[in-house]
Structures are given as structure tokens and as C-alpha cells.
């Protein structure tokens, strides 16, 4: 289902950056299976996310480049402060797959 159309100014307010996953921890308190994921954005620093990307092993995620929304307010999820939103999409099997660049780009680079 398509959402309501927005104007370019709405999109421009979203800050999507490229980061590298540096740590992944199990998140047992989450209602839906999830990880606690630390992402390095270079000069922007490191931020944490609660992410339902458990179709990957923790080892497969570490080192991977990911696209993230970095300008949302932190969200408390089962006592954990999730600071960013890691972007993904479901495949035909219903697994969430992260959106990642096809080429190496700098940490903290903006997506536009």
C-alpha cells in the first residue's frame, strides 16, 4: 500500500547515513527477535540500534556497511535506548535484509 505523497522538503529532513556494524549482541528482552547493534559513523561517532535483522548471524553483520536514519529521537525498547534506525526490506521468505551500498563508501556519508 502506497503512503501519502510527500514533498521534497519532507524527504530532505531525513538524515540517512552509511555506517559500519562494529558489534552485535543478543537482545533477549525484545518481544520480537532482535539484536543490539553498534554502528560506527566515522566522525559522527558510534550509535546503537535495536534491529530485527536476525536472519543474519551476528558474525555476518559485523563489518557490513548499512544505511541508517540517524536523526530520529532515541527510542526506549525493553529498557534499551535505540538511537538509530537501520534500514532494511523483507525478501520473498519474509526475512529482513539490510540496505547496504554495493561499493565501499566512507563512514558517515549521507544518502541522497
**pLDDT 10s digits, 48-86:** 999 999 999 999 999 999 999 999 999 999 999 999 999
- Which of the four pLDDT bands, split at 50, 70 and 90, describes residue 35? very high
- Where in the chain are the domains? 15-98
| Core vs surface per residue 3-28: b (16+ CB within 10 A) or e | eeeeeeeeeeeeebbbbbbeebeebe
Average pLDDT, integer, range 8-13: 94
Quote the cell numbers at residue 47: 550509535
pLDDT for the residue 73: 97
Class of domain 15-98 as given by CATH: mainly beta
pLDDT for the residue 55: 95
Report percent pLDDT > 90 for the chain. 99
**Separation between Cα atoms, residue 31 and residue 94, nearest integer Å:** 18
Contact 88, 98 (CB under 8 A): yes
Amino acid at each position: 500500500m502506497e503512503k501519502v505523497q510527500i514533498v521534497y522538503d519532507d524527504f530532505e529532513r531525513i538524515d540517512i547515513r552509511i555506517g559500519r556494524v562494529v558489534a552485535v549482541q543478543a537482545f533477549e528482552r525484545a518481544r520480537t527477535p532482535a539484536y543490539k547493534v553498534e554502528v560506527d559513523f566515522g566522525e559522527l561517532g558510534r550509535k546503537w540500534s535495536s534491529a530485527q535483522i536476525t536472519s543474519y548471524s551476528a558474525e555476518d553483520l559485523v563489518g557490513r556497511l548499512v544505511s541508517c536514519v540517524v536523526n530520529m529521537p532515541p527510542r526506549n525498547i525493553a529498557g534499551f535506548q535505540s538511537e538509530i534506525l537501520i534500514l532494511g526490506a523483507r525478501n520473498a521468505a519474509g526475512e529482513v535484509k539490510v540496505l547496504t551500498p554495493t561499493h565501499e563508501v566512507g563512514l558517515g556519508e549521507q544518502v541522497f
